[in-house]
Structure 1
Amino acid sequence: MRKTGGQIIADVFSKEGVKKIFGVPGESYLNVIDALFEHPEIEYLTTRHEGGASFMADGYAKASGEIGVCMATRGPGATNLSIGIHAAKQDSTPLVALIGQVGRPFSGREAFQEIDLVPFFSHLCKWTVEIESAERIPELLHRAFHIARSGRPGPVLVSLPEDMLNDEVGDVTNGPCKVAPIQPDIESVKLAAQKLRQAKKPLIIAGGGVMMSNATPELVQLAEKLQIPVVTAFRRFSAFPNLHQNYAGALESALPDNLLNYIQDCDVVLALGTRLSETTTRDYTLFSKGTRIIQVDISPDVLGKVYTPFLPIVSDAKAFVTEILKVIEPMNNEQRLNNLVEMHDNYIEFSSPEHNDSKDYVDMNSVMYNLVEELPKDAIITSDAGNFNTWVTRYFRYDDGGFYVGTTSGAMGYGLPAAIGAKLANPNKVVVSISGDGGFMMTMQEFEFAVRHIIPVISIIVNNNMLGTIREFQQGKFPNRVIGTELTNPNYAHLAENFGGHGERVERTSDFPIALKRALTARKPALIEVVTNPNILSADHKE
């Protein structure tokens, strides 16, 4: 039986177990959309902007553990999609993006909306490929899925010339390629165990590799047996239960002095599944010269990229922890126990918001207090970039199945579409996105998507009528020379209602708990706009 290129692509999706595809339809890949009509097990979800599609795919992948899939047409569709592809690259999110391309006879002639997609996206992706023959679709598209999920996961881009999708070919036999987790060298595991036992002040940094390999339960056992404090890498809060006695905090921009001092006094650090990014390491200054780093990562390209590790180990995070648990014995060291108690107590104190009854504006400390008190313990939190995040990252704790979906790339507009993707992956969990007024406006059109598909996410907008992060930097670098950071905003609550959702505008702290309860029971997409003091730009603000 002969099939068109578009039909073969749909067949590959089915074999790979794809359930959701996020995109904006375009004429350059209509054959693929038409072929999906014959695959009711795959849902094509039309977003209002390609950036929203790529963010939804990213959020869906993070929350489901599956590969996110998004599609766009050539030219402007492709460039709109690129923001989420870049976010997926920096977050190591497995994502496959398919983009329609001009027909092969028109290539290289500056045809309508033509972009040479392979070089354009090459540095944003793990792999980019243009499929020039329908016969090779099964081979190359299955390979794209394999590359996206193997090793250090990441985005792969597949370019689809429009006329190629019309070509007909015979039956093909290619299928998914899935490999076993990468196992560590056993002698290196034994050496790591020895150095961690001998250390006077050890530390474990849990990164995204812990989350992707579902290694958290094993990591808890390791930390308990060796009495080692654990911190989470930038935006990886869910890698370790925050209320566990071994948890010492997150490597965010606001790092308390006691934690920073401990880290800089560490003699051995186990960096597990983290690339030790610029933000995680405070501009690559986090460790002292005498600190010996044991770095475990699934990708050899990560090892030594930032710091030269004393002991580099190529391994899946879960596989490494499973093996090291076989060769260690529980410790009973009084000094280590005292360190654990002190560091966890310091974390609890640092991450406990105080409730204040502000009359003129909404107090963000109180907002976080109410969120911690009222949301289910397994709630999912998403957010985009902005100074409002200093409250989110400092005060919300992830335990008992709750987790955070965010981007390390600092992309504004991520929160709402990522929340939609996360909710589609976890329909029975409460999903809350938190955004600034600047970021929310960038993708607010996806609220209509949530209404159309009856996806009851809750969007909280922290509104101070400015780009707060840049304003704070501006004031620090160029005092009293404000330019370009002031904004005006609509009444977001009315906007939500016009879209068909539930809307609330909160101007006093005391009104927020009631608005939150109404949003939780709305049974449709809900939005809470909180009006905050423009003079208090972060959780670290001092009067």
Structure 2
Amino acid sequence: MRAIDAIAEVLKREGVDFLSCFPSTPMMDAAAKAKLKPIVCRQERVGVGIADGYSRICNGQRIGVFAMQFGPGAENAFSGVATAYSDSVPVLLLPLGHASDRSGMKPYFSSVRSYDAVTKWVERINLPELVPEVMRRAFSLLKMGKPGPVMLEIPEDIVNKEVAPFDYQPVKAARAAGDPQDIEKAARILVNDKSPLIHAGQGVLYAEAWHELLELAELLQAPVMTTMMGKSAFPEDHPLSLGTGARVMTKPVYHFLNKANVVFGIGCSFSRHYFSVKIPPEKVIIHATNDAGDINKNYLADYPIIGDARLVLHQFIDAVKDLLGNSKRQADIAGEIKRVKEGWMAEWMPKLTSDEVPLNPYRVIWDLMHTIDPAQAMVTHDAGSPRDQLLPFYPATRPRSYIGWGKSHALGTGLGLAIGAKLAQPEKVSINIMGDAAFGMVGLDFETAVRNNIPIITIVLNNSTMAIEAPDEPLSQELYQSLDLSGNYAGLGREMGGYAERVETPAEIVPAIQRARRANMEEKRPALLEFITSEEITFSLF
């Protein structure tokens, strides 16, 4: 068999369902031969996003794959790969490479050299007989340890060389628990403290440890906040949920994070970042992560623990039960959360239920979450205002019902994620919410969903400007209107073959969402809803 067919065979044995791609790459025909459908995007960064969204929704149990040509194809994919890397997403990337006699020569683009900074591992397949070994190495890195994108460059002169018959067994993932002594010490701190807080990251999702997180929270009667990428790891309709903390946050997150003496970070990196919540000083920090590189990176960990989130949470549950014995923690934490949340929501209800025209984007979000059951949906934001408006208020009530992203926040990322999410769980409603600037970056890939019968819902919040940037560029906007944009995005969606509507009044919001859902269900058509909105830049900041 040819080397390229051997790669496709390994993908199939590893449970890969499809190949996200853009020509020209021999990987497309090899995948088709192996009965893996090639899904061709309109630009490479969206193709990476499709694979990325698929891997996230599958919690890395199944891996999204993207293939592209050498040179411009590999170059155009960079933004998507950078996003996957910064958000720690396991994606397999298969760029074609220049022939071996040009390897390392300038000005030929080298994926191995250029992608080293934004991949967990990048390797060039130098010999055809090494394909099984290199692929096994790649899937081992994808399935174990801290997640991240892995790239294998396939030189064009290796593609058609023969590979001897081989016996490839799918990689079995291994996990490690925490040191029992460390667990016991940290559990004692949690039990003895009156107001601990659990800070849950996306490691809980990848470990599929949401049941364990819920059990521990209830044992401790401890409030739980999630990070932007960890959103949906804890049900936000639970009495102990504080919601999400990022650049924007809920009032309960702000209140209890400041009140807490002990912060227990599980499955998180505690990275100090523009889109991560800041940990106040003088907190006792318990930090459990599967990556030693995260420990003490930005915050001193008083009780560091290295281990898989699910196994570590099991250990904490057992240790806390031993320490509590037959007693139960008595605290009106749920009541306090409810009071703080109700006061905060009362402040925001005028915007969430606003009848203003142009539409307030918060009204669109409010109507969406009361029209399509969040438990049956997978929603993702985009960069800028849609992220900051959606994140605090949209209730993620089931694991992976929300895709939070953005440590590398390229405009337009959400569209590819929504397509990939729908491929992973076709029975769910997949929705991406983007601004008009984001649509300008990647909007033509709505046609990718149309062409491949992937019925997503794309919501475009069109305020005809980049409002969130206005405070930073006031003079250029005043003199030259440099931030203003224009376009009829519903018209574009319709011309690309999707169902589309432009909505301008509050009374039209719910019926339009319902019609979009029917187009998804009855016609299997993607839907694009363009809402004409105000220049709203008030956010839930503290």
TM-score normalised to the size of structure 1? 0.92
1:519 aligns with 2:478: no
Report the Cα offset of residue 348 of structure 1: 4.9
Q: Match for 2:307: what amino acid? A: S
1:316 aligns with 2:316: no
SS in 2 for 1:163: coil
Shift in alpha-carbon separation, 1:179–1:356, aligned structure 2, 3 A: closer
The 2-side partners of 1:448 and 1:466 are apart by 24
- 1:378, 1:399 within 8 Å by CA — same for their partners in 2? no
- 2:271, 2:297 within 8 Å by CA — same for their partners in 1? no
- In structure 2, the partner of 1:36 is 31
- In structure 2, the partner of 1:528 is 529
Shift in alpha-carbon separation, 1:101–1:282, aligned structure 2, 3 A: closer
- In structure 2, the partner of 1:135 is 129
The 1-side partners of 2:123 and 2:481 are apart by 40
- In structure 1, the partner of 2:489 is 492
Aligned pairs for 1:260-339 within 5 A = 260-279=254-273, 285-288=278-281, 290-329=282-321, 332-334=328-330, 337-339=331-333
- 2:19, 2:31 within 8 Å by CA — same for their partners in 1? no
Shift in alpha-carbon separation, 1:152–1:401, aligned structure 2, 3 A: closer
Shift in alpha-carbon separation, 1:454–1:258, aligned structure 2, 3 A: closer
SS in 2 for 1:521: helix
- In structure 2, the partner of 1:84 is 80
Task: For residues 210-257 of structure 1, give each alpha carbon's deviation from its aligned partner in whole angstroms, at most 9, with x where no partner exists.
Answer: 011111111111000111111001232201000111111211222356
SS in 2 for 1:151: coil
Unpaired runs of 5+ residues, structure 1, are none
The 2-side partners of 1:479 and 1:120 are apart by 35
Moved more, 86-95 or 398-407: 398-407
Seq. identity, %? 30
Q: Match for 1:38: what amino acid? A: K
4+ aligned runs moved over 6 Å, structure 1: none
- In structure 2, the partner of 1:440 is 439
- 1:459, 1:528 within 8 Å by CA — same for their partners in 2? yes
- In structure 2, the partner of 1:361 is 358
The 2-side partners of 1:472 and 1:529 are apart by 25
1:417 aligns with 2:409: no
- In structure 2, the partner of 1:342 is 336
Task: For residues 296-346 of structure 1, give each alpha carbon's deviation from its aligned partner in whole angstroms, at most 9, with x where no partner exists.
Answer: 001111111111201111110000011111122356444xx2233212442
- In structure 2, the partner of 1:450 is 449
Unpaired runs of 5+ residues, structure 2, are none
- In structure 2, the partner of 1:537 is 537
Task: For residues 56-115 of structure 1, give each alpha carbon's deviation from its aligned partner in whole angstroms, at most 9, with x where no partner exists.
Answer: 11011111232111011111111211111111112111111010011112334446xx21
Q: Match for 1:145: what amino acid? A: F
1:387 to 382, 385, 388: 385
Report the Cα offset of residue 260 of structure 1: 2.5
- In structure 2, the partner of 1:249 is 243
Q: Match for 1:460: what amino acid? A: I
- In structure 1, the partner of 2:91 is 95
The 1-side partners of 2:476 and 2:131 are apart by 57
- 1:504, 1:515 within 8 Å by CA — same for their partners in 2? yes
Report the Cα offset of residue 180 of structure 1: 2.4
Shift in alpha-carbon separation, 1:244–1:50, aligned structure 2, 3 A: same
SS in 2 for 1:245: coil
Report the Cα offset of residue 149 of structure 1: 2.0
SS in 2 for 1:154: coil
Report the Cα offset of residue 153 of structure 1: 0.7
- 2:353, 2:366 within 8 Å by CA — same for their partners in 1? no
- In structure 2, the partner of 1:124 is 118
SS in 2 for 1:371: helix
- 1:251, 1:280 within 8 Å by CA — same for their partners in 2? no
The 2-side partners of 1:232 and 1:473 are apart by 29
The 1-side partners of 2:78 and 2:275 are apart by 27
Report the Cα offset of residue 281 of structure 1: 7.8
Q: Match for 2:33: what amino acid? A: E
Shift in alpha-carbon separation, 1:110–1:182, aligned structure 2, 3 A: same
The 2-side partners of 1:256 and 1:5 are apart by 52
SS in 1 for 2:473: helix
Report the Cα offset of residue 359 of structure 1: 4.7
Q: Match for 2:116: what amino acid? A: S
- 2:85, 2:118 within 8 Å by CA — same for their partners in 1? yes
The 1-side partners of 2:231 and 2:72 are apart by 35
Shift in alpha-carbon separation, 1:305–1:498, aligned structure 2, 3 A: same
| Aligned residues: CA RMSD | 2.1
Q: Match for 1:12: what amino acid? A: V
- 1:269, 1:291 within 8 Å by CA — same for their partners in 2? yes
- 1:353, 1:395 within 8 Å by CA — same for their partners in 2? no
Task: For residues 401-459 of structure 1, give each alpha carbon's deviation from its aligned partner in whole angstroms, at most 9, with x where no partner exists.
Answer: 56111322212111111111101111111111100100122111111111111111111
- In structure 1, the partner of 2:473 is 474
Q: Match for 1:277: what amino acid? A: S
The 1-side partners of 2:229 and 2:117 are apart by 23
Report the Cα offset of residue 483 of structure 1: 6.0
